[in-house]
Amino acid sequence: MLRGIDPVLNAELMHALMLMGHGDQLVLCDVNHPAQTIARHTTYGHLIDVSGCGLERVAEAILTLFPLDTFIDAPVKRMQVVGDASGQMPLFATIQKVIDRAEDRPVRMEALERFAFYEAAKKSFAIVRTSDPGPYGCFIFSKGVI
């Protein structure tokens, strides 16, 4: 344990966060996401697992260290509900509260169609899979500067 660092942030996740630069993207996903397959295409090249934690808890932990990008309109992306582009899942509001609280400001979250989300995820720096059962627990965070 290290003082001041959330214990949810394991060594591999901390390493990936430290390697990331401004504008790099981090995917945070549930257990249903094809994370292992997509992770091979990322800069990091393999999946980071945070077992035993849900999306809300892992997002809270990451955002204690990870500033969101202030140079773009929507530094957070999420997956759209298939067949209902304006559909909302309870998790969307939960994560919105987490990011707004972490940034101490309203943060715009943009919805991406399922396959557009997968393509964006392939271009990310790394994929972090949680134990969250979902559904639609798929988010992309763009890193900012402190």
Catalytic residues, which ones?
22, 69, 118
Distance CA 8, CA 58 (A): 7
Give the Cα-Cα-Cα angle 14, 44, 9 (nearest 5 degrees). Answer: 20
Long-range contacts of residues 93-96, Cβ cutoff 8 Å, at least 24 apart: 94/55, 94/56, 95/55, 95/56, 95/59, 95/139
Q: How far is CA 107 from CA 93, 103, 122, 141, in A?
A: 12, 8, 23, 11
Strands 126-129 and 25-29: parallel
β-strand partners of 25: 142
